[in-house]
Amino acid sequence: MKWMNVLNQEFLPQESSALPEKKPQGEEPIREEKPRGLSRQEVLRRKKEYGENVLVGKRKKHAVILFFEQYKDIMTMILLVCTAASVFMGEYVEAITIAVIVLMNGFLGFLQERKTERTLESLQAMAAPHANVFRGGVLCSQPASELVPGDLVLIEAGDRIPADGTLVSSVALSCDESMLTGESVAVKKGEDEQSVYMGCTVVGGRGEFLVEHTGMRTKMGQIAGMLNQISEEPTPLQKHLAGLSKYIAAGCLLICAIVSITGVLRGEDLFSMLITGVSLAVAAVPEGLCAVVTISLALAVSRMVKQNALVRKLHAVETLGCATVICSDKTGTITKNQMSVHAFSTMKTKECEKPDRSDEAIEQMLLCFRVCTAVQDDAPTHGSATEQALYRCASAEIPQKPPMTKVAEIPFDSTRKRMSVLMKTPGGGYTLYAKGAPDVLLSRCSSVQVGSRIVPLGAVERAQLVKQNGVLADRAMRVIGAAYRQAFDETDTAEEGLVFLGFAGLTDPPRDGVKQAVFRGRQAGIKTVMITGDHKNTAAAIAKQTGILTEGERVVTGAELDRMDDSTLRNTVMQTSVFARVSPEHKLRIVRAFKQRGQITAMTGDGVNDAPAVKEADIGVSMGKTGTDVTKEAADMILLDDDFSTMMTAVAEGRSIYANIRKFIRYLLSCNIGEVLTMFLGMLFSMPVILLPIQILLVNLVTDGLPAIALGLEPYDQNVMKKPPRKPEESIFSNGLGFRIIMCGILIGLTTLGSFVCVYRMTGDVTHARTAALFSLIFAQLLHVFECKTEEGSIFSISFFNNKKLIAAAAVSVTVLFCVMYVPWLQMIFSTVSLSFEELLWPMLFCLAAPVLRAVIHR
């Protein structure tokens, strides 16, 4: 790796090159004695002048357009035309009522679509990137949209560059500018190439740049439209249902046509039969199915965000329910990421908890941790938890900044597993300090410090040190080695021939709840796999504590992985639950191996090199706190709290939303079959028209919308995590759902028809019979909605009151039904009459008989 000189550690922006071209009047260049970055007032002033740092995206649909889009369905249009025609025929009341019902239906659809849109928009805002910016001398994380020209921004590997600007300092910085130039080779940045551009990503190193252009004035702004949006691609289920809806619609239309034509042949009025057919089509065609699925997915997504799982792509909600393997990082996800140094170990001092400063190796080690760090003195909270723990411990022992200047640095990355700095000492000499994974570092050492002596690192010493490392790792500690050597000049930067100093052991306890989550996963048929860059023993110890590694399961190291070909790896993965000392690049092979074994794999990641594996996984998961922008963008889901347990909660949500979708599909389709069948059988048996168009539309209004959505909001069933995962290729109608839908549809149809016949026989009046049929159809559907709460049990085994929204939706429907039946002016509009108790008795018995019958069959 090429060493980059640190251009200017104490850099302060230079007015000429770094400030934006359009310099506001009276603007003060930032002087040396001032804190780094702009002041809050200056930021406010510039924000007013330059606006937000955002790209103007695609235009949102206007509410009016969205409203009218609800009526673009061909059947609705025909119905509205027919309604207009009935006005000319003097059928004012009926025409107006139909129009009102159709309008209300459309309005409900409009409200639902708006809500879905708003939910997705707010999630998009949550997923928006942040930038590390110096404001008033303090490094803080701000939404990237808040940046203004003149801001001083810190960028690191994995960040998406938030604005255009000029570098003022950099350490081994390289950027991927392919989205602007199409060139996939990373561009090295430094003295020769100082411009950085919004939207490009940092692939390695770090740097600080001064913002020149923001928002649409950036290069990226000129290539408009490249917005980081939550994907609105339809999910596989939505696509499947869209296809299916077409067949159902075709079937319904055919039946509606038959109903109308038979009516006309039997001598019914042509125009009223046309309206009947079209009304039936409007009611029966499940055009709302896809919309309700989208709404439920969007609502599930907003529920999940409250539990810290931010879903970026809707299809992830579905896939989550099928997950069979969850590959998780260790540090920060399974553990708390609260690192603290708990042990020191050198050749002389085998182990001590507090650094024994009489041991010269420990003294040197502290110095190494004090200077060999990415933590900056003016940003001590920046850097990984490991860096901060080492820096905290070293600066508590050595509070004064050592009198040395950093001349060069190779930053830490998870593939190299080490970092080094070259320091110039006051006497004009140079010392190279290195820290990293002990095995990696030891292979670059030729001697070891024992007290004040430096002795050659022979096989005996190596074996001794490996043993000491193992002792710390066995106690679940992350172990960092330290080394140094005298360097000749400012170009002598090879990490070789080092003097090994010793180890620091860092503890990081497992997160609360992880053990339970792993157990829950096992019960649900989900295998948890830990993937870590840490030592085998450290990983195994944590995995045992959390129940991830059990009897008979293996720990595989990165070195072993390198020796395996793909087929061996494929045969090994299912017995492996820990991958230790792996590099991010290994993760891709691991994901592929699991996928080739037919597993639906979730993979977490945070660093820039994790992005390919996260993208490859069926469910790519990025960490919200420690995740880089690049990984977040590759991910389907972001864990806002970085917690492993959240993933299990998300899987449970994914499973329950799928179960809920099945519930309302069952409900909607069986009700629609019931409606069509009623009319069809009526015609077939030469009965009078069972329901008038206006009545059919009323049924559609009160039973299809609200109860179906409320069913999608069913609280999550505790049993979902006690079953094995669903197979992704499994049809939504699997496990007999299709059969049940048809049976229930037939029963609803027969119930309605039975009620009609009974009351017709009792009263000899068709209006009475129609009112009874209307009552039956709505009442049977409302009973059925409660039946749909459970797949396994019957209506007698459900908990009625655990979904208040469903109760409310049913109550609204019942109220509307009774008003239509008993309020005189509504009776006039809907052609109904008041039914006596006796007349209601039979329809009621019919309606109740169906669920009772099903419960008996079920037993």
Which residue lies nearest ligand ATP, judged by its C-beta?
Answer: 533
Looking at the Cβ atoms of 86 and 386, the one nearer to ligand ATP is 386
Name the phi and psi angles at 724, rounded to 5.
-70, 160
Tell which positions 430-459 bind ligand ATP, by CB under 6 A: 435-437
Q: C-beta of 27: minimal distance to ligand ATP in Å? A: 39
The answer to whether residue 587 forms part of the interface with ligand ATP (CB under 6 A) is no
Q: How far apart are CA 703 and CA 630, in angstroms?
A: 46
Looking at the Cβ atoms of 148 and 339, the one nearer to ligand ATP is 339
Binding window for ligand ATP (CB under 6 A); candidates: 61-69, 71-79, 379-387, 636-644:
379-387
Chain centre to alpha carbon of residue 241? 23
CA 661-667-668 angle, to 5 degrees, is 90
Which of 53, 76, 132, 386 binds ligand ATP (CB under 6 A)? It is: 386
Binding window for ligand ATP (CB under 6 A); candidates: 319-327, 356-364, 381-389, 482-490:
381-389
Q: C-beta of 400: minimal distance to ligand ATP in Å? A: 23
Residue 677's identity, in one-letter code, is L
Q: C-beta of 622: minimal distance to ligand ATP in Å? A: 13
Question: What DSSP designation does 279 have?
Answer: H
The answer to whether residue 468 forms part of the interface with ligand ATP (CB under 6 A) is no
Which of 206, 418, 655, 770 binds ligand ATP (CB under 6 A)? It is: 418
Q: How far apart are CA 317 and CA 324, in angstroms?
A: 14
Q: How far apart are CA 525 and CA 652, in angstroms?
A: 12
Looking at the Cβ atoms of 42 and 495, the one nearer to ligand ATP is 495
The answer to whether residue 480 forms part of the interface with ligand ATP (CB under 6 A) is yes
Q: C-beta of 331: minimal distance to ligand ATP in Å? A: 3
Catalytic residue of the set 164, 176, 329, 359? 329
Rounded to 10 degrees, what is the CA torsion of 329, 331, 337, 342?
A: 170
Q: C-beta of 441: minimal distance to ligand ATP in Å? A: 8
Which of 238, 294, 468, 532 binds ligand ATP (CB under 6 A)? It is: 532
Tokens of 819: 């008003």
Q: C-beta of 536: minimal distance to ligand ATP in Å? A: 10
Binding window for ligand ATP (CB under 6 A); candidates: 232-240, 477-485, 594-602, 830-838:
477-485
Residue 718's identity, in one-letter code, is Q
Looking at the Cβ atoms of 389 and 569, the one nearer to ligand ATP is 389
130-135 vs 138-143, strand pairing mode: antiparallel
601-605 vs 325-329, strand pairing mode: parallel
Tell which positions 98-157 bind ligand ATP, by CB under 6 A: none
The answer to whether residue 534 forms part of the interface with ligand ATP (CB under 6 A) is yes
Q: C-beta of 412: minimal distance to ligand ATP in Å? A: 4
Binding window for ligand ATP (CB under 6 A); candidates: 17-25, 531-539, 564-572, 660-668:
531-539
Q: C-beta of 409: minimal distance to ligand ATP in Å? A: 12
Looking at the Cβ atoms of 91 and 439, the one nearer to ligand ATP is 439
Looking at the Cβ atoms of 556 and 701, the one nearer to ligand ATP is 556
Q: C-beta of 561: minimal distance to ligand ATP in Å? A: 13
- CA nearest neighbour of 606 among 582, 586, 634, 579: 634
Asked if 16 and 117 touch (Cβ cutoff 8 Å), the reply is: no
Looking at the Cβ atoms of 631 and 813, the one nearer to ligand ATP is 631
The answer to whether residue 414 forms part of the interface with ligand ATP (CB under 6 A) is yes
Tell which positions 359-378 bind ligand ATP, by CB under 6 A: none
Looking at the Cβ atoms of 330 and 336, the one nearer to ligand ATP is 330
Binding window for ligand ATP (CB under 6 A); candidates: 5-13, 231-239, 398-406, 478-486:
478-486
Which of 278, 419, 504, 817 binds ligand ATP (CB under 6 A)? It is: 419
Distances (CA, A) of 249 to 82, 256, 279, 700: 20, 10, 13, 15
Catalytic: 329? Answer: yes
Q: C-beta of 379: minimal distance to ligand ATP in Å? A: 15
Residue 213's identity, in one-letter code, is H
Q: C-beta of 582: minimal distance to ligand ATP in Å? A: 7
Chain centre to alpha carbon of residue 133? 26
Chain centre to alpha carbon of residue 176? 25
Binding window for ligand ATP (CB under 6 A); candidates: 170-178, 526-534, 614-622, 656-664:
526-534
Distances (CA, A) of 661 to 105, 241, 714, 737: 21, 11, 10, 12
The answer to whether residue 478 forms part of the interface with ligand ATP (CB under 6 A) is yes
The answer to whether residue 417 forms part of the interface with ligand ATP (CB under 6 A) is yes
Looking at the Cβ atoms of 151 and 534, the one nearer to ligand ATP is 534
Half-sphere exposure (Cβ direction) of 603: Cα atoms closer than 13 Å: 32
Looking at the Cβ atoms of 295 and 529, the one nearer to ligand ATP is 529
Q: What is the DSSP string of 590-645?
A: HHHHHHHTT--EEEEE-SGGGHHHHHHSSEEEEESSS--HHHHHH-SEEETT--HH
* CB contact set of 127 (below 8 Å; sequence gap of 6+): 228, 230, 310, 312, 632, 638
The answer to whether residue 336 forms part of the interface with ligand ATP (CB under 6 A) is no
Tokens of 732: 């939504």
Q: C-beta of 527: minimal distance to ligand ATP in Å? A: 17
Q: What is the DSSP string of 429-488?
A: -EEEEEEE-HHHHHTTEEEEEETTEEEE--HHHHHHHHHHHHHHHHTT-EEEEEEEEEES
Looking at the Cβ atoms of 549 and 708, the one nearer to ligand ATP is 549
Q: C-beta of 129: minimal distance to ligand ATP in Å? A: 21
Asked if 791 and 858 touch (Cβ cutoff 8 Å), the reply is: no
How many residues are given for the chain?
859
The answer to whether residue 393 forms part of the interface with ligand ATP (CB under 6 A) is no
User: What three-state secondary structure class fits 344?
Assistant: strand
Name the phi and psi angles at 536, rounded to 5.
-50, -45
Looking at the Cβ atoms of 123 and 389, the one nearer to ligand ATP is 389
- CA nearest neighbour of 623 among 436, 314, 385, 374: 385
**Binding residues with ligand ATP: total (CB under 6 A):** 22
The answer to whether residue 387 forms part of the interface with ligand ATP (CB under 6 A) is yes
Tell which positions 304-333 bind ligand ATP, by CB under 6 A: 329-331
Binding window for ligand ATP (CB under 6 A); candidates: 162-170, 490-498, 527-535, 821-829:
527-535
| Helix (H) / strand (E) containing 222 | helix 219-222
Binding window for ligand ATP (CB under 6 A); candidates: 27-35, 50-58, 473-481, 560-568:
473-481
The answer to whether residue 546 forms part of the interface with ligand ATP (CB under 6 A) is no
Q: How far apart are CA 259 and CA 422, in angstroms?
A: 88
The site string for ligand ATP over 177-216 (x = CB under 6 A, - otherwise) reads ----------------------------------------
Q: What is the DSSP string of 548-570?
A: SS-TT-EEEEHHHHHHS-HHHHH
Question: What DSSP designation does 31 have?
Answer: P
Q: What is the DSSP string of 36-100?
A: SSB-HHHHHHHHHHH--S----SPPPPHHHHHHHTT-SHHHHHHHHHHHHHHHTT-HHHHHHHHH
Looking at the Cβ atoms of 373 and 803, the one nearer to ligand ATP is 373
**Residues recognised as catalytic:** 329
| Contacts to ligand ATP by CB under 6 A | 329-331, 384, 386-387, 412, 414, 417-419, 435-437, 478-480, 531-535
